[in-house]
Amino acid sequence: MSPAVEAEIKNHLLKCDDCRVVQEAATTTLDREFGTYKASENRPSLRPVIQAA
Ligand SMILES: [Zn+2]
C-alpha cells in the first residue's frame, strides 16, 4: 500500500466510525493470524511470493 493511500485511509477512519469499527476488527484478526504465522517461522518464504506477483 502506498503511503498516500494509507494516509487517506487513516484520515477517513478518523471521521468515519463505521469504517473504524471494521478496521479494528480486521486488525485484531490479522494480529492473531500473524502471531500464529510467526510462531511457525515460515515468514521468509513470503518474500519470493510477493516479488513474483
Ligand atoms: Zn467510512
| Residues 40-53: tens digit of each pLDDT | 555 566 566 556 56
User: Mapping DSSP to helix (H, G, I), strand (E, B) and coil, where does residue 21 land?
Assistant: helix
Residue whose grid cell is 468515519:
16
Residue 52 alpha carbon to ligand 1 centre in Å: 32
Q: How far is the CA of 39 from the centre of ligand 1 (A)?
A: 33
Residue 36 Cα to ligand 1 middle (Å):
29
Q: What is the whole-number distance in angstroms between the Cα of residue 45 and the centre of ligand 1?
A: 34
**Per-residue pLDDT band at 5 (split at 50, 70, 90):** very high
Task: Provide the residue ranges of all domains of the chain, joining segments of one domain with +.
Answer: 3-52
- Using the mean position of ligand 1's atoms as its centre, give its distance from the Cα of residue 2 in Å: 19
Which grid coordinates are listed for 38? Answer: 510467526
Span 13-37, pLDDT tens digits = 899 999 888 888 888 887 877 776 5
